[in-house]
Amino acid sequence: MSRLAPLLRAVDAVNEAAGRLAGVLAAVLVALVFGLVLARYAFNAGSVAAQEAVLWLHASLFLLGLGYTLRHDGHVRVDVFSQRWSARTRARVTFAATLALLLPFCVFMLAMSWDYVAASWSAREGSRDPGGLPGWYLLKALLPVSAALLFLQGVALALRSLSVAFAREAG
């Protein structure tokens, strides 16, 4: 496990950076929505591009925050059973669930999004609305990026769980 420590730290660092970026995007999103509401009700003005930017920011912060959330154990789980389990049993269940559920989901998400994103890039897809944002393909590119970040963090979680699950008893 010590040989993998630098790799695990690198995965953590990448997802940490993505999560911090998502945090900045959340603050920008709040400011933009506030500005849109103010413009709408105070000045009776609006902007299609600004409305689409809200969608971009919302999608981006969730997609970039997936691996970060897993890294910080912030995902939803049911602790009804696991709260009574030993750390070793919890680690074994986490390892099995990561291998059986999370990693296949990430591979599926990556596989399903690849052609969708490639088609968007090849067409240099932009907004269909007049005054909308160009470059929708950039936002769509976050789908496989998100799947890859979540996959890498899942591998790191599985390796750490494996280490705890099969650690030798101190004695």
pLDDT in tens, 97-112: 999 999 999 999 999 9
Smallest CA-to-CA distance from 142 within 71, 57, 79, 81 is with 57
Let me know: does 136 contact 120? Beta carbons within 8 Å.
yes
Query: Tell me, what's the pLDDT at 56?
Result: 96
CA distance 7 to 82: 29
Helix axes 142-165, 87-97, angle to 10 degrees: 150
- The mean of the pLDDT values for the chain is 93
Give the CA-trace dihedral at 80, 83, 87, 89, to 10 degrees. Answer: -30
With a cut of 90, say whether residue 80 has pLDDT above it: no
Tell me the pLDDT band of 1, cut-offs 50, 70 and 90: low
b/e per residue 100-130 (b: at least 16 CB within 10 A): eebbeebeebbeebeeebeebeeeebeeeee
Tell if the pTM clears 0.85, that is, is over it: yes
Reading the block at residue 76, the tokens are 């939803």
- Percent of the chain past pLDDT 70, that is, above it, reads 97
Output 35 or 75, whichever has higher pLDDT. Answer: 35
Over residues 39-51, the pLDDT tens digits come to 999 999 989 999 9
Reading the block at residue 65, the tokens are 């925050």
Smallest CA-to-CA distance from 34 within 8, 59, 54 is with 54
Query: Tell me, what's the pLDDT at 75?
Result: 84
